[in-house]
Chain A
Amino acid sequence: RKEVEQDPGPFNVPEGATVAFNCTYSNSASQSFFWYRQDCRKEPKLLMSVYSSGNEDGRFTAQLNRASQYISLLIRDSKLSDSATYLCVVNIINFGNEKLTFGTGTRLTIIP
């Protein structure tokens, strides 16, 4: 089983629609959770951290369910500029050493 699993997509959705991505992780010792965005031929960039209480940043909402080891990202009113690959990322800190583990990413294309 992969440490971080995502639906690879692709998701092709019309502009203005709402889209949701899911992610599961296998290591219950995971301590921090993130969504990164990676544009084609670019480096990953942090989109948002994910907190247990859930958090929102404009059109983006992230949720974490520690009991189910499940993370989600919701994008409302999608824009053409949202087209990218979204990476679910889990951070484990062990004896002071931290390690980010990346999912394979979910590819999103917003259609005009």
Chain B
Amino acid sequence: SAVISQKPSRDICQRGTSLTIQCQVDSQVTMMFWYRQQPGQSLTLIATANQGSEATYESGFVIDKFPISRPNLTFSTLTVSNMSPEDSSIYLCSANGLAGGADTQYFGPGTRLTVL
């Protein structure tokens, strides 16, 4: 299985600022993803982080608001830009690994963001 860590685990930010969340996987993985989980809701995919190229964003999410980097096969960052209280959420990094011959998607512990 893949072990995924995220930093920071939580943060409280002021409106209008930006926060960069880091995601580190302990092994090389093909796919990395960023999700958002708002209180009481399920997970919503923000984008797929592509190594060496621009991220692929889902409908409703744009690069200017959520720039993503993926410089190598084990690391990715998500920036939440020009934050507003509506961005308060848990942001989860995910990676697709290979376990027992089947693709399995693992999640990081999440970053709990509160925007004041």
Contact = CB atoms under 8 A, between A and B. Distances in A.
A45 B31 CA distance: 17
B56 A44 contact: no
A30 interface: no
B115 interface: no
Interface of A is mostly: strand
B114 to A, nearest CB: 14
A49 B103 CA distance: 10
Interface string A31-46: 0100000000011111
B45 A100 contact: yes
Contact of A98 (B31, B44, B110): B31
A66 interface: no
Contacts of B94: 100
A104 B43 CA distance: 8
Interface in A70-112: 87, 97-105
User: Contact residue range for chain A?
Assistant: 10 to 19
Contacts of B53: none
A8 to B, nearest CB: 9
Contact of A46 (B33, B42, B104): B104
Given A43-B92, A49-B102, A102-B42, A97 B107 contact: no
B22 interface: no
Contact of B107 (A32, A43, A49): A43
16 contacts: A42-B110, A43-B108, A43-B110, A46-B106, A87-B43, A97-B48, A97-B56, A98-B96, A99-B48, A100-B43, A100-B45, A100-B94, A100-B105, A101-B45, A103-B42, A105-B42
